[in-house]
């Protein structure tokens, strides 16, 4: 495969515009989404959402470039770039945010470093454990 300057890993999973996935996706690879995903996407790689791409659910990744739409929660540990055609509705947590003119954002935005994001995840897991201990 030729070098690809847009992705961090040599393998890129592509969800074509004619594809609709219903369910959760967990991977370590980079993704390009031009189709529809109804579910959660979790990857340690980069996610690129093309103009026709749409996510209904939660996105967790290291970096994201977005031209399509997301309706749900977005957690990006490094940089989230919202292009002029993008639309986000939900909650955004990221270390860095880049927004082009024309991007539509109906979201609560929290700016946190990667270390803070890990601490939040740890706190949430501890809280869930405590709740399950109370009900047991």
Q: Counting beta carbons within 10 angstroms of the beta carbon of residue 26, is it exposed (0 to 12), middle (13 to 18) or buried (19 or more)?
A: exposed
Across the 136 residues of the chain, what is the mean pLDDT of every consecutive 10-residue run? Answer: 51 88 92 95 94 97 96 95 96 94 94 64 55 51
Cα 3 to Cα 12, 86, 120: the distances in Å are 11, 27, 35
The pTM of the full predicted model, rounded to 2 decimals, is 0.76
Would you say 8 and 63 are in contact if contact means Cβ atoms under 8 Å apart? yes
State pLDDT tens for residues 33-51: 999 999 999 999 999 999 9
Of all helices (H) and strands (E), which one includes residue 116?
helix 114-135
CA 94 – CA 11 distance, rounded (Å) = 24
């Amino acid at each position: 495969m030729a070098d690809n300057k847009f992705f961090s890993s040599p393998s890129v999973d592509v969800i074509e515009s004619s594809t609709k996935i219903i369910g959760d996706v967990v991977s370590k690879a980079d993704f390009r989404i031009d189709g529809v995903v109804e579910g959660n996407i979790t990857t340690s790689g980069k996610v690129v959402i093309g103009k026709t791409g749409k996510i209904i659910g939660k996105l967790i990744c290291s970096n994201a470039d977005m031209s399509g739409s997301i309706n749900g929660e977005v957690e990006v540990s490094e940089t989230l770039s919202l292009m002029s055609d993008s639309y986000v509705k939900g909650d955004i947590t990221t270390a860095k945010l880049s927004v082009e003119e024309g991007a539509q954002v109906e979201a609560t935005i929290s700016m946190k470093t990667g270390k803070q994001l890990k601490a939040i995840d740890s706190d949430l897991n501890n809280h869930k454990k405590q709740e399950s201990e109370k009900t047991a």
